[in-house]
Amino acid sequence: MSLTFDNRVALVTGAGRGIGRAIAEKLGANGVTVICVSRSESSCGSAAEAINAAGGKAIACAVDVADGPAVAKLSEELITEFGNIDILVNNAGITKDNLLFRMTEEDWTDVIDTNLNSVFHFVKGLARPMTRKRWGRVINITSVSGIMGNAGQTNYAAAKAGMIGFTKSLAKELASRSVTVNAVAPGFIETDMTAKISEAALDMVLPQIPLKRMGQAADIANMVAYLASEEANYITGQTFTVDGGMTM
């Protein structure tokens, strides 16, 4: 199915590597102008370069998504430059796993700040012009951990579950302006984030996935591209799991 995008501009956080990069490249290949955001200049820079080299249009912006004032400043600059950001993909995320009794307050706060508070900062910075234009997409990358819970991930699961509640509430607030807000919940996807999972842990996980394998970043990018397209006009407030059947 070919997807329709009408001269759209997208901002993808965490676009330097993994799932975010696959999303940025997929949107870029569909003619969307992409603003690639990540923490380090080199990673978002190489994502933007790859999109431009493939004939798309992209720029790179390095910012810490947890830094509210920095995100507000960047949002203002981008709105001045582009007039409007049509598609916001909140994908940047980190894990700092530990059992609760061993988790430090810093590991709790870092994960909530990077994975959840960042979503608040970017939506505050970019969503108002979408409502004026009467068209917009906010797509939040949550996780099956936010749906099922996962031992060792109280911080991460709390942030990801928070994103789902945020998604539903914002969808209700913005629906009358034709701005849709959805979430995508990946299962186990092969990226740098999951490269740190031990062989032994993977041996326990894989049997619980009906498709018996990990997913690829492109599997998530395909769902995000669909939700960002014109074809998804009537979908809002939903969370779509892309997990090889793990949570059915």
The catalytic residues are: 156
Phi first, then psi: what are they for 140, rounded to 5°? -105, 130
According to CB under 6 A, which one of 192, 196, 203, 234 is a site residue for ligand NDP? 192
**Contacting ligand NDP within 40-79 (CB under 6 A):** 40, 43, 64-66
Q: Which segment (74-82, 87-95, 100-108, 165-173) binds ligand NDP by CB under 6 A?
A: 87-95
- Among residues 86 and 219, whose Cβ is nearest to ligand NDP? 219
CA 229 vs CA 2, 84, 88, 94, 226: distances in Å: 10, 16, 12, 27, 5
Contact 233, 175 (CB under 8 A): no
Counting residues that bind ligand NDP (by CB under 6 A) gives: 28
**Tokens linked to 148:** 């099922």
Residue 143 touching ligand NDP (CB under 6 A): yes
- Among residues 64 and 231, whose Cβ is nearest to ligand NDP? 64
Contact 51, 24 (CB under 8 A): yes
Residue 177 touching ligand NDP (CB under 6 A): no
Residue 174 touching ligand NDP (CB under 6 A): no
Q: How far is the CB of 154 from ligand NDP (least distance, A)?
A: 14
Residue 182 touching ligand NDP (CB under 6 A): no
Residue 193 touching ligand NDP (CB under 6 A): yes
**Contacting ligand NDP within 20-39 (CB under 6 A):** 20, 38-39
DSSP state of 56: -
According to CB under 6 A, which one of 11, 19, 111, 179 is a site residue for ligand NDP? 19
Residue 231 burial class via C-beta count within 10 angstroms: exposed 0-12, middle 13-18, buried 19 and up: middle
Residue 94 touching ligand NDP (CB under 6 A): yes
Selection from 159, 191, 186 nearest residue 241 by Cα: 186
Residue 50 burial class via C-beta count within 10 angstroms: exposed 0-12, middle 13-18, buried 19 and up: middle
Residue 244 touching ligand NDP (CB under 6 A): no
Q: How far is 116 from 101, CA to CA, in rounded Å? A: 22
Binding site residues, ligand NDP, CB under 6 A: 13-14, 16-20, 38-40, 43, 64-66, 91-94, 114, 141, 143, 186, 188-189, 191-194
